Every structure is written in C-alpha cells, then in structure tokens.
Structure 1
Amino acid sequence: ICNTELESDVVVEVGEISFHLHKSPLISRSGTLQKLINESTGNDEDDRKPCTVRLDDFPGGPEAFQLAAMFCYDVRMELNAGNVVPVRCAAEHLAMTEDYGEGNLVEQAETFFSQVLGTWNDAVRALHACDAVLPDAEDLLIVPRCIDSLASKACADPTLYGWPMLEYYTAKSLEETVIWNGTSATAKPRSLGVDWWYKQASSFRLPVYKRLIAAVQSKGMSPENVAGSLVHYARRHLSGLKRHGDNSDGSSRGGASGTTAVLSDGDQRTILEEVVALLPTEKGVTPTRFLLGLLRTATVLHASGACRDALERRAGNQLEEAALEDLLIPNTGYSAETLYDVDSLQRMLEQFMMTSTSAFAASPEITDEGQLVDAPSAELVPVSTVAKLIDGYLAEVGTDTNLKLSKFQTIAALVPDYARAIDDGLYRAIDIYLKAHPWLTDSEREQLCRLMNCQKLSLEACTHAAQNERLPLRVVVQVLFFEQLRLRTTVSGWFFVSDNADQGSSSDTCVLPRRADDDLAFAAGSEETTDEGGSAATRPGELSPAMSVVEIRQRVSELEEECSSMRQEIHKLEKPKSALSRLFRKLGLGRSSPSRERDRQQHQEPLPLPGAGDKRRKSFGGC
C-alpha cells in the first residue's frame, strides 16, 4: 500500500490477513480506526511496539479494507460496479465521513454508486455485490435503491438506457461489418422484446427476486410480462421443468439454466411455492402448459397442499388450452393405486365446468331420430375442446388395470352430453377400458356403456361396435337400430329428391328447395355426407345442391349394400330362433306379410328399408 521507508506502527487484522500500516494516515481519515488505535495505544506499555487493531465482521472482508486503506494513503484505486457497494459499506463502517476530511471515501463512493444506478448492467452487478455485505447494504438502503432502479428500467423502453443487456449487443447479434471502398458500416442492433430483462433477473436470489417482482408490479408492468419473468425464473431453477422439456414461455434465449447449480429438493420446493404465490391471478396470462408442468413438479417435490390446489384451480380455469401429454401426471405416492393422478384431473375438470360460461344451460335440441340440429356455437367451443381432451385422457388411462370403474364413470360423466358432437372418442375410451378389464360383469358393462349416446356414433364407429364382442348385446342392438333409422332417413331424403327431379325437371339435374319438415330428416345425415376432403354437406335451411339422377341411383345402390352388410352382422349374433325373430321384427328386417304390415302401421313402428318391390324403385326402371 505504501512505499515509504517508515516502520509500521499499527497492525490491522481483518479476518486472517494482517495489514502493517501507519497511524497518521489512518487516523486522519477514519473515525473508527482513530478510536481503536487510541484505545490500543493507551493499553500498550511499550510505545515502541506496533499496536494491534482487530476488525471483526468487516463488510467486504480484506479486499474492501485494502481499498479503504489505499484511499487513506491517497493511492489511486479503481471503483467499478462490482466493488463500489463493499467499499461504500466499508467506508461507513470505518466512519470515513466529511468530519474526517473533505471529499472522504463515503462521499466518493456514494457519488460513484449513483452513476452505477444509471445503467442496467451496472445496477445488476451492484445488486449481486450486495449479497456479500448484508445487512450493511440493507441498512444503507443500497438494496432498495438497486431494486427500484432495475424495476424502473424493466418497465420503461429499454432503448432509453443505452445497451441494457450485453448478450443482445455482442458481435453475433450485430450484422457483419461491411467494408467497401475503405468505408466500414455496422448495422444497428436488433430491437429488444419484452423479455429482454428475464435472464438477468432470474439470476437473483429468491428474496431479492420477489422484491423485484413486487416493484415492477407496483410500477404498472403488465401481468403477461410479470408471468413471463416468473416462467423464466422457474425454468432456470426447477430441474423438474427442465427434464420435462417445458418451454411454455416461447423463449429460446436465456438458456443459462445449464450453468446454474442444481438446488436441493427443499430449496426447489420453496422456489416453486413462492413462484405460484407470485403468479398473476388473471385468467389466460400464465400458459396452461407451464401450470401443469409446475403441478407435475409439485407432485414430485411433495409441495404443500395449498400450492397444488392453487395450481389445479388455475389450470382448471383454462383447461381448454391444455394438451393431453401435460395432463398425464404420474402418481408418486407410495399408496397410489393408479399410474396417473386421475384425482387431480377430476378436480381440474370440476373447476372448469364450474367456471365455464357456456350459453347452453341444457343439451341442444334433439330430433326425433336422435341427431343434433345445430353445430356447436362459438360459446360451446371451449367445452367441446375439453370434451375431446377428456375422451383422449380416458383412452390413455383406461389401459390401467387398477383404474376403478366408478372413477372412469365419474370423469366421463362430468362432461355434459351437449359438449360432444359425436361420441366416437368416448366409445374408443370405453372399448379400451373394457379390453383392459375383461373381468367386468354384464351389468357393469351395460352401466359403463350408458355413458355414450348410440345415436351420436359415426358410421365407422357403428360398424366397429356391431362387430365388437366386448359390448353387451343390448348395446349392439341399440347401435344397429339407430343406424337403421339413420339409413332409412337418408334413403327417404334421396327418394324425395328423385321424385321431384322426375316430376319438375326436364333435364338430368335439378335444384330443389328444402321443406321445413325435411330439415330434421336431413340433419341426421348431414355429418355422414361430409367427405374427408372437406366438402360440406347440405345444412338445415339451405338449398339442396344440384344432383343428377345417375348420382341418386348410385347413392341408393350404396345404401342397399350397407343395409345388406348390416343384415349379415345381425346373423352373426344369432341366438335362439325366437329371440332372433323378435330382433328382426323390431328392426323391421324380416319378411313382411300384409297382416304384419297393417299391424306395424297401426303401431307406428318404423318401416323397413325399401326393397326391390318398392314403388319408388320402379321410377328408376330401365336403369
């Protein structure tokens, strides 16, 4: 520190390091050292022996004291954002105020610290330096001033503060320098997004980060921006989110989590619970994928029940945004019976149904044939999306042999019937469950199949159900019966078109208006007449498309083939003759006699499909 040839007359011990100095420069600048040296000199009987002064718990340690001693000797020292906070605390501890010299270290350090707060990077370095000098930095209000400065810059336009983040302004982020005719030109840096401050903010300790989030919220930062920062912080410090591959914030930057030391389970549990408490309460602000990722991690870390309940409520409120893979949360408890946590899914589904604001208080209107009249409205889209999601979830968990029938039924029944346009997804889930649980009794199988509406199965699902040996016979009969009604309704509609074409058209094509009493009949077949390529079927209230007589005949032929194949499937289910006769009579597939025809008409039973002797078929004579 000093090149003078004078012998040292005071030894200052800071930690394990001893500084051999002189009394005069120290006493002239520091009130604390003046007091300690005077006390040590008075107690020392030998004036020729250097006195010893010990400084315990000195803020900043030997490094900070060395800088303070250099200032006392008027030796040039360099202040920067990383050491100004320890030097400021050391100066305060040594009482190096204006009372012991003009322009003393306290004033010099305070002036430089105010300049440090003017830039983002320097303020971040200064705030990190505060960790080594607590609680002195808190007592001198250095930490609150750093946090307030950072919060102001995070809420404002980043371009107002120069170059706030170094990684965005390195040579890689700039376009390459172009040299032409001896002139160099460098392009301007790319503009910053709202997430420019996330990475450096996530490097703070949890107590400091919480205060920073509270500060930016008090300054009016948007909930979306606050949630984005919390997502980044959690992904950096929670290893469970990194293993699961959550990237719900959509940011590919800030991947410095690999350089962060892995925290203990206790520390991660604390961070998770605090992050959940800090998340904005507005719906849709926090990504559903991130919420479910936190819930999965909370299950693994055994977080508090209040934390998991909060995550389930938040995720349940926006369940329509979830993905199936995120809902498959494994059970980690020792007493868990099922592979996945179906109880958690049930609570989230109940929360969604409780807060759903659908305009439909009951099921949409049903026609006599059991078909939906109208397609789902925009208000019904979230519920319909969740219905498809739950059907897929039941299909996944249905393979678990430990999943109880009552739990499967409860989850499936939570989705209202009007939420499903078709029940193919639910049928698939039921079929998977029956396959994985072959020991179910007939009554249990029938009870399970009551969850689906046989009238809302597509043609492919009906064909599969007619051949499915796992379904109860009663359900198979219902499927065949409603498919028979659907086919007859479709054929009747085509005959209506063909009759009008023969009577009112002189050409091979005609366009017929829809009748009010036919809207319901055509609604049943509207879904099946939509091909995979996306061609739309006729909707209620619209004009029929132009159809040629040849196409009508071809369609009738196809329907006859479908009916024939359905009869063959019924024969496969052959029972005793009396039971088979009753089944044929109910479906109208047996041979008709005049007396039976009159009896059927009196009881208003559905007519069988038109056969080869139907009068309407004769209108196509010669074809």
Structure 2
Amino acid sequence: MSSSVRHGSSRGQAWFCTTGLPSDVVFEVHDMTFHLHKFPLMSKSRKIHRLLSELDEQRGPARRRRRRRSSGGDGDDGAAAETEIEEEEAAEQQQQQVRTKEQDGQAYSIVFPDFPGGPGTFEAAAKFCYGVRVDLTAWNVAPLRCAAEYLEMTEDHAEDNLAARAEAYLDETVLRHPGDATRALKSCEELPPLAEELGIVSRCVDAIAARASAAPRTWFDDLAVLGLRMYRRVMEAMAARGGDGRAAEARESCLVSYARGTIPGLSRSMRRRLASAPVSSEVEQKELLEAVVASIPADRCSGRVVTAKFLFALLRTAHILRASDAARAALERKAATQLQQATLEDVLIPSYSGAAETLYDVDCVHRIVRHFLEEEEVRGGEASSSGAIEEEEAVPAVAAPEVSRPSAVAMVQVGKLVDSYLAEVASDANLKPDKFCELALSLPDHARIYDDGVYRAVDIYLRAHPRLTAEERDRVVGVVDCRKLTVEACTHAAQNERLPLRAVLQVLFFEQLQLRRAIAGTLLAAAPLAAGGGPPHAMRLQQQQRAVPVGAAWPGATALAQESQVLRLDMDSVASRVQELERECSSMRRAIKKIDGRGGSRSPGADGDAAARPAAGGGRWRARHGCKFSTQVCDSHARNVVASRASRMGMSP
C-alpha cells in the first residue's frame, strides 16, 4: 500500500490515493480535497478515529429514516418530526465543522478549514499515516509538528508517531544551528497560535540568540526571510543575552544582513537583493528601516560590521522613504561616531525634500559634524580625567600622548573629509555663503594641518558665484587661514584674480614671513656645526637620556643613537673637507706671493711701473685661475669703498 501511495495523483483541486481500492473518506483542506481510506488514517490519528467513529454511529439512524421515507412513512406528522431531527443533526455537525454526506460509494466527507500548514502539510501527514517515508527539513518540521498536534498523532495513540519524530528532529537537528532555526522560525509565521502554544517559536528564537556568535557567519543572510515581528524577537533575545565583543559583533552582523536583504536600494552598490527575501511596499520598507534603526546598539559600534558606509546608506534611504524625525536623528548621531571612516561618496546625501534648494543636504552633514565634535569633546574629557587618575597613580608619562592621539587623528581625517565635501558642493549655484561658511568654520583649528583643501573649496565657490557682494566675498575668503597655506597654495593665491586685494596681500606677507623663518631656522641649525659644537640631535638625545630614570628602558634611545652616529660621521667628513680646502688656499697664497716677488725683481725701474706690472700680472693669473684673495691693493680698495659708503650715509670716514 505504501508504494502505491507514492503514486498519488492530483486532478485539479483533488488528490487521489491510488491503492487500487475505492476511497471511503474525503478530506477538504482549504481549497483541496483528498480522497483517502479511513483505516490507515484512524491507526495514526486519534482525532480522525474519533470523528469517523462518531460518523459511523450517526449513519445507523440516518439509514433507518431513509428506509421509512422510502416505504411511505406514517403521514405528515411523522415527516415533520423527521425533518426537525435532521435539521438538529445538521446544526450539530456544522458546529463541529464536520459534515457527512452519503454518495454512491458510501464515502464520508470531513472538513478541516483551519488546518495548520495548509494542503501540503496535510498531504505529508496523510502519507505518513500510509507508511510512506516523509523527509523532515527545517522548513516543514514546524508545520508537521503542529499538524501532528492538530490530528492528535501522539505516542498515546500509536508508537513512533509523527509528533515524536518531529520533536526529535527539531531538538537534534534544527535547534543546533541558527540557520535551520531561522528557517523553522519563518515557517512558524503561518502557524499561529499553535506554534506559540507548542513553544516552537520561543525555542527557535533562543537557539538563534544562543548560537549566533559561535556558528559560521554564512547563515546571516537567512535572517532576511523573517518578518518584522520575528526579527524583533530575535534581536531582543540577542540583546537580552548580552555577552562579550564577539556576541555584539554577531548582533551587528545580523542587523546589517537583515537590512541589506529586506530594504532594496540601501546603497548605490547594493542593487542585488536576496531571492528569498519578501518584496515589501514603501510603507513596509519604512517600518523595516525604523525597526533596523531601533536595533542598532546604543553604545559605540565596533566599526567592522556597522560601518560608516552602512550607516550613511541607511540615512540616505531614510530620506528617500521619509522616515520619522526620531529615526533620522538617531541615524545622524550614530553616523557621527563613524564619521572619520566615511568617504566623500558616503556623505553626498541628495536633498529629497521639495523645500531644499541645494542638490545635496548640507544641513544634514553640518548636523553630523556637530554631533562628531560633541562626541569628541566627551571622549576628550573622559581621556583627560583618566589621564589625571593615571598620573596620580604614578604611571610613566611616556604613555600619555597615546591617549589623545586617536582623537587627533580622527579630527584631521574629518577635516579632510569636510574640505572635500565643501569642494564638491561649492559649485552648487543655490548654496548660500552663510551655509558654506558655517560648515567650513565648524571645525576647530587643529582639524586642519594645512588650509589648502578649504582654499580649493573657496576658489571653486568664488568661481561658481561671480555675483557675490564684496562683503560676502570677504566672508567666504575669511574661512582660509593664510598662515597655514603651503608654498604651492600661496603661489596660486598670489595670482588669483578672484581673491580680494586684502587677501592677496596677506598671502604675500605670510609667505615672506615663512621664508624668513625657514632661512633663520637653517642658519640656526648650521651655527653649532660651524662653531664645532655638537649637533642639535645629539643635544636633544642627551637631554632625553637624562630625563629617563637610571635603569629604565627608553624606547627611542636606539633610534636617536643611530641618528646621532650618522650626524657625527657627516660632521667628520665636512671637517676634513674644510681642512683640505684650507691647505689648498694656503698653498695658492704662497704661489701668488712667489709670482709677485719674481715680477718685482725683473723690473727694477720706476715705482709706478714696478707697482703696475705685478698687479697686472697677478690680476691675469687670478682671472685665469678664478681665485680671489685679499692682496695689499685689494685691501686699499676695500678701505676706499667703506669710506665712500660712509660718506654717502652722511658719516665721517
């Protein structure tokens, strides 16, 4: 019989069990009818056994009434009584949602309008009753368990029944892996309230929350099949469990996977959606997005899973779907915590509001920058207080700069990002000077090492807004600190016709000031070398070595010692070269003196000729060899030059 059941066929909305015997019971499940046999079903299902037994008891009196009607009956009173009895029986059967009808084959008909799992689950349960092997999976185990409970297919009625098998598979296979538990939880969405009463939903939720961090991360995409209600229960269970950093990262991964799978168009690079994810309307997407925002951890995220790109993609989608103000404000504050990791593409959020004049939402970015600065102030205060506590506990001062370094690096990264954003939105003709200046001046001075980026944005803005008033132009240019421009930026600014004259003069002044400081620094650095003193690096090395306690290990001692050794070698080579040049100069002076002496002995004539010829000969020799030495004649000319300069200045020689 079991082999023939495998060949059960469907004809339209009817399913027939081809066992070779005529069916004696018909089941109607939703819009599907099943022509089966009562004895296999009664052996496994107590409910079907009870219903068919009651129908058999009711069929005897009905047959006797039919015989009396066929024989003519006892008159009108008897016919009326029999009609009343039949109406009462019909009402009773309707309340039980079971009706009987007698056909040519004397088949019973039973209706199950609220059967859990629908026709597919009833077909699998019927096959189990016929002895056909039913393959349990994560998708059908919960419906079959509910069907077994509905049909009372328990161990009390028959051994190794469907309820026991489903429970064993659920505990031993499904609940051991969060991916299978997620599929089973999805199947429970169509089984209320029986799945809740049997505890299947709670067990699946607990299994997902308990094994989320231990299982491989490949199952996260399965969360996209869950509805909003089930997803919230899973996230609440995971948050209630808490745990270490790995559990928090798993919770963030579940959040990101669910958002990417259920909200289409979440990012410009996320066009593909999961095929198993349901297609949601705009209202449902808005509810999903707000639920995802509510699931984001309140504390600072790790940044490895809930990245800046993901948060800004949520914020952009929230603008498109017109999410609530609370959801958008929460996203802006959360995006501010990852602002240093954002790129220019992330912060370019278009203005989807009809009241906005600019192409991009500059106000939103300005609010995010303010939230970032507030967060940095809080973190800076905490770092300073913790540094003070450590100082009181005599912690070495070497580790103190490492506390503020991450904050400083993040501030510089945000400064570069804001300058790039300003350069991108500066070409918008509708961007007002006030908004441009507010965003440019929102960052502190230490956020920009150089002002080249903001100067580039100002230049683009002036080019795109040629009709600014003089006051507006001065206000826009005033966001640039001319003292923090590089040489290239100063050169460009000095030739920029769009800048006001006052700004150009400031650029030229500070450029000259920087040049003087650079020359002065070079002279000061070369002075100790010329005087034969130790180099500044060596002096700094000695000072830092004195600052370190005796017996303590200084991390930079080795590097500075190597640098000092290299400088000493360079100084020795320079000193030897200077000595060689001095010897060469001495030998050349002696040679010149000999030449001058020979010229004087050959011409013992007049003093004027004797003085002129050596000078001419010496001048030709020096001109030929390119040497310039202070002879007696040059000294006299030097004194005359000094005297004439003093006389020009109105001084006595």
TM-score by length of 2: 0.63
SS in 2 for 1:19: strand
Of residues 423, 432, 439 in structure 1, which corresponds to 2:467?
439
Identity over the aligned pairs, expressed in percent?
Answer: 43
Q: Which residue does the alignment assign to 2:637?
A: none
RMSD of equivalent CA atoms: 3.6
Q: Which residue does the alignment assign to 1:133?
A: 191
- One-letter code aligned to 1:468: N
> For the structure 1 residues 471 and 146, does the alpha-carbon distance in structure 2 shift closer, same or farther, using more than 3 Å as the test?
same
Q: Which runs of structure 2 are paired with 1:245-284 in the superposition (5 Å)?
A: 245=269, 257=274, 260=277, 262-284=279-301
Of residues 238, 248, 253 in structure 2, which corresponds to 1:223?
248
> For the structure 1 residues 39 and 471, does the alpha-carbon distance in structure 2 shift closer, same or farther, using more than 3 Å as the test?
same
Contact 1:246 1:289 in 2 (8 A): no
Shift of 1:427: 1.4
SS in 2 for 1:45: helix
Tell me, yes or no, if structure 1 residue 232 matches structure 2 residue 232: no
Contact 1:116 1:123 in 2 (8 A): no
Shift of 1:128: 3.8
Q: Which residue does the alignment assign to 1:341?
A: 361
Contact 1:17 1:62 in 2 (8 A): yes
Contact 2:423 2:458 in 1 (8 A): yes
Q: Which has the higher helix share?
A: 2
Q: Which residue does the alignment assign to 2:350?
A: 330
Q: Distance in 1 between matches of 2:34 and 2:407?
A: 77
Q: Which runs of structure 2 are paired with 1:9-158 in the superposition (5 Å)?
A: 9-27=24-42, 29-37=44-52, 40=55, 42=58, 45-46=62-63, 49-73=106-130, 75-81=131-137, 82-117=139-174, 119-120=176-177, 122-156=180-214, 158=215
Q: Which residue does the alignment assign to 1:612?
A: none
Shift of 1:346: 0.7
Q: Distance in 2 between matches of 1:272 and 1:11?
A: 47
Contact 1:117 1:149 in 2 (8 A): no
Contact 1:223 1:282 in 2 (8 A): no
The structure whose Rg is larger is 2
More off after superposition, 482-491 vs 394-403: 482-491
Contact 1:394 1:429 in 2 (8 A): yes
SS in 2 for 1:68: helix
Contact 1:40 1:53 in 2 (8 A): no
> For the structure 1 residues 308 and 19, does the alpha-carbon distance in structure 2 shift closer, same or farther, using more than 3 Å as the test?
same
Q: Which residue does the alignment assign to 2:411?
A: 383
Q: Which runs of structure 2 are paired with 1:519-538 in the superposition (5 Å)?
A: none
Q: Distance in 1 between matches of 2:62 and 2:201?
A: 45
Tell me, yes or no, if structure 1 residue 355 matches structure 2 residue 372: no
- One-letter code aligned to 1:346: H
Q: Which residue does the alignment assign to 1:320?
A: 340
Q: Which runs of structure 2 are paired with 1:452-601 in the superposition (5 Å)?
A: 452-495=480-523, 504=531, 513=536
Contact 1:155 1:216 in 2 (8 A): no
SS in 2 for 1:429: helix
Q: 1:316-353: per-residue Cα shift (whole Å, max 9, x none)?
A: 12311211221111111122200100010011011011
Q: 1:430-488: per-residue Cα shift (whole Å, max 9, x none)?
A: 11111111111112211222222222221111111111111111111111122222223
Structure 2 gap segments, 5+ residues each: 6-16, 65-101, 385-400, 540-566, 576-644, 646-653
More off after superposition, 111-120 vs 391-400: 111-120
Shift of 1:304: 1.5
> For the structure 1 residues 444 and 548, does the alpha-carbon distance in structure 2 shift closer, same or farther, using more than 3 Å as the test?
farther
Q: 1:97-132: per-residue Cα shift (whole Å, max 9, x none)?
A: 445445443334333433333543654543343344
How many correspondences in the alignment? 462
Contact 1:195 1:229 in 2 (8 A): no
Q: Which residue does the alignment assign to 1:292?
A: 312
> For the structure 1 residues 379 and 117, does the alpha-carbon distance in structure 2 shift closer, same or farther, using more than 3 Å as the test?
closer
Q: Distance in 2 between matches of 1:385 and 1:35?
A: 76
Q: Which residue does the alignment assign to 1:304?
A: 324
> For the structure 1 residues 484 and 8, does the alpha-carbon distance in structure 2 shift closer, same or farther, using more than 3 Å as the test?
closer
Q: Which runs of structure 2 are paired with 1:381-460 in the superposition (5 Å)?
A: 381-460=409-488
Q: Distance in 1 between matches of 2:457 and 2:25?
A: 85
Shift of 1:396: 0.9
Contact 2:143 2:187 in 1 (8 A): yes
Contact 1:384 1:419 in 2 (8 A): yes
Q: Which residue does the alignment assign to 2:559?
A: none
Q: Distance in 2 between matches of 1:88 and 1:79?
A: 13
> For the structure 1 residues 320 and 155, does the alpha-carbon distance in structure 2 shift closer, same or farther, using more than 3 Å as the test?
closer
More off after superposition, 208-217 vs 328-337: 208-217
Contact 1:387 1:420 in 2 (8 A): yes
- One-letter code aligned to 1:317: T
SS in 2 for 1:222: helix
SS in 1 for 2:26: strand
Q: Distance in 1 between matches of 2:188 and 2:207?
A: 14
Contact 2:185 2:204 in 1 (8 A): yes
Q: Distance in 1 between matches of 2:367 and 2:335?
A: 10
More off after superposition, 277-286 vs 404-413: 277-286
More off after superposition, 213-222 vs 304-313: 213-222
SS in 1 for 2:225: coil
